[in-house]
Structures are given as structure tokens and as C-alpha cells.
Amino acid sequence: MTQPLPPYVLGRVTGAEPVTPLMRRITLEADDWCGAVPVAPDQQVKLFFARDGGVPEVPGAPEDGSGVAGWYARYLAVPEDVRPWMRSYTVRHLDPDEGVMVIDFVLHGGGHGAAGDPGGGHGPASHWAESAGLGDVVGVLGPAIATYRTPSGEPVRLLVGDETALPAIGAIVEQLPAGTRAVVVAEVAGPAEEQVWGSEAEQELHWVHRGTGLSLPEAVRTLALPDEPVFAWVAGEASDVRAVRRHLVGERGLAKQSVSFTGYWRRDMTQDDAPTEQDMADAAEQMAAAGQG
């Protein structure tokens, strides 16, 4: 089935503020979000950054009905030295009527006042976010896809991830109704990176500080889960996500369709690098599980 191309707009920076030392919140405005509607709390957009720091130019929608696949082929055909960088981000907040979209960027190259580099160095998106100022422009395709499904009959939501997953985890926790419980296991650089969310749901937050000897998968392994049905959502560094998912399904006995999982970034690889065989296998598993849900 052809996946239709979501709307593409140019967003202007109208605000920038720190959430924590290593996370910067950027507010984007556009004259028209082309009918964009919020999809789900972990909804994602593709952002486009011009290589010369100006206005990114991407191909228009194909007229042959080939949708996302056809458009992506045209995007890849743009010579690399002028092709805008494309990166995936979570929509932290969207108000189409006010023409506002908010995105929280992890500054993985260090950040203002950072205690240390969490590893990997800057990429173009992190670099842009660190220095973005009023009037700067970024291309926005979407919002489109999300993997969070509103579960039925599972009062416990286990939300696992690193800093890149916090925008989605925060949005999920904030939307949970009374009578549900959010169990969050999140790996961050240190105490200054922890976040607080308002919610009607009960919250149980477990913060894992990087470099203190406990990895994210180990923290999940040692977690005592409530004796009630659990729906799990896992995102962050791809190999950690894989390990957590394997544990939840293989050792905790969660049904595959009760675990939503997405690798958000890959160690020592950029988002320009092609998917590995393992990435493709994960995507197929995720789609199969969603189909059974």
C-alpha cells in the first residue's frame, strides 16, 4: 500500500530555552501547518537542516502517486553536497490553530553548561539546536508516524528510554488518565537531566545515571514490576532498546504486541547511514506486533 506523503512546511524559530543543561526546547512557528493534526504522544516528524545554514530545499510531492517511497527516492537523488540533512524528532507539543510546534533536542555534543559529553560528538541536528536563534528555519515533514498505542486492559505503562525518548515519555505520562500507573526507567547523564511531569496517573520514576555502573537494560532487569498487566514502550539507543525488548518478551513473558520498541539512534552511526540487517528485522517485528495489537 502506498503511504501518502505528510505535509511539508518551513518552521521558523520563535523561541529557545533550556529544559535541562543537555536538552534545548525549540519553538517553531509556520503560517500554515497544512492541516497537521496531533497523532499520538510519541508522534514524530522528519526535520531538514540546510547544509549552508539557510533555508532547506527538498523535492516536492511526487505527482505519480508514489507517496513517501517515491518522494524519498527523489530526496536521495539530490546531490549529497546540497541535500539537506534529514533527522527524526518527537513533537513535544503541537497546536495547529496557533501555528506552533515544540521540539526538545538532546545536545549530544555537550551542550551549554554540560557536565560532560555523553558520547558520539555533535551531529548536524544537535549542532543546529545548540545554536538555533530567532528566525532560523528548519524544514518539517509530518507529523506522521507514532508507535504508542493506547492499550486496553493494561493499567501499567512501562516507559523505558534515554534522553532522546524523554519528549515522548513526558507526553505519554502527561496524557495518562487517573487509575493508570506509569513506571518510567530512564537513562540520563546525571541528576541535572532528570525531568518532572504533571499527570493524573500515578508515577514511579527510576533514573539511571550514565557512567555509574548500571546500564539501562540492567536497570530494567532488576526492576520489580507490579503484578498487573503491563504495556511497555521502549525507545533510545538501538542496542539497548533491543536488549530491553528481548528481556521483556523472553524473560518477563510480556506478549510481543504489549511491547512497542524503536531504536532512536545508533552508536557510531549517523541517521544518514543505511539501516543494518538488525534494524530491518526490528522494524519488521515492530510492524508484525502492531498488526496483532
Ligand X SMILES: Cc1cc2nc3c(=O)[nH]c(=O)nc-3n(C[C@H](O)[C@H](O)[C@H](O)COP(=O)(O)OP(=O)(O)OC[C@H]3O[C@@H](n4cnc5c(N)ncnc54)[C@H](O)[C@@H]3O)c2cc1C
Nearer to ligand X, 88 or 257 (CB): 88
Q: Sort 250 into a burial class: Cβ within 10 Å, 0-12 / 13-18 / 19+.
A: exposed
Question: CA-to-CA distance for 271 and 125, rounded, in angstroms?
Answer: 10
90 binds ligand X per the rule CB under 6 A = yes
Q: Provide the minimum distance between the beta carbon of 34 and ligand X in the complex, in angstroms, as a whole number.
A: 20
* Phi and psi at residue 172, to the nearest 5°: -65, -50
Residues 249-268 interacting with ligand X (rule: CB under 6 A): 262, 264-268
Nearer to ligand X, 199 or 271 (CB): 271
Nearer to ligand X, 101 or 156 (CB): 101
Task: Give the one residue of 118, 139, 142, 190 binding ligand X; rule: CB under 6 A.
Answer: 118
Nearer to ligand X, 89 or 156 (CB): 89
Question: CA-to-CA distance for 138 and 289, rounded, in angstroms?
Answer: 34
167 binds ligand X per the rule CB under 6 A = yes
Q: What is the 3 state secondary structure string of 223-291?
A: CCCCCCCEEEEEEEEHHHHHHHHHHHHHCCCCCHHHEEEEEEEECCECCCCCCCHHHHHHHHHHHHHHH
Q: How distant is the alpha carbon of residue 226 from its chain centre? A: 26
Task: Give the one residue of 11, 41, 124, 142 binding ligand X; rule: CB under 6 A.
Answer: 124
Nearer to ligand X, 258 or 262 (CB): 262
Task: Give the one residue of 115, 223, 269, 279 binding ligand X; rule: CB under 6 A.
Answer: 269
63 binds ligand X per the rule CB under 6 A = no
Residues 32-51 interacting with ligand X (rule: CB under 6 A): 44
Q: At 107, is the secondary structure helix, strand, or coil?
A: coil
Enumerate residues 6+ apart whose C-beta is below 8 A from 213: none
Task: Give the one residue of 126, 180, 258, 260 binding ligand X; rule: CB under 6 A.
Answer: 126
Q: Provide the minimum distance between the beta carbon of 179 and ligand X in the complex, in angstroms, as a whole number.
A: 28
| Residue 85 grid cell | 540533512
Nearer to ligand X, 151 or 167 (CB): 167
247 binds ligand X per the rule CB under 6 A = no
Asked if 99 contacts 59 with a C-beta cutoff of 8 angstroms, the reply is: no
Where on the chain is the footprint of ligand X (CB under 6 A)? 44, 87-90, 104-106, 108, 118-121, 123-126, 164, 167, 262, 264-271
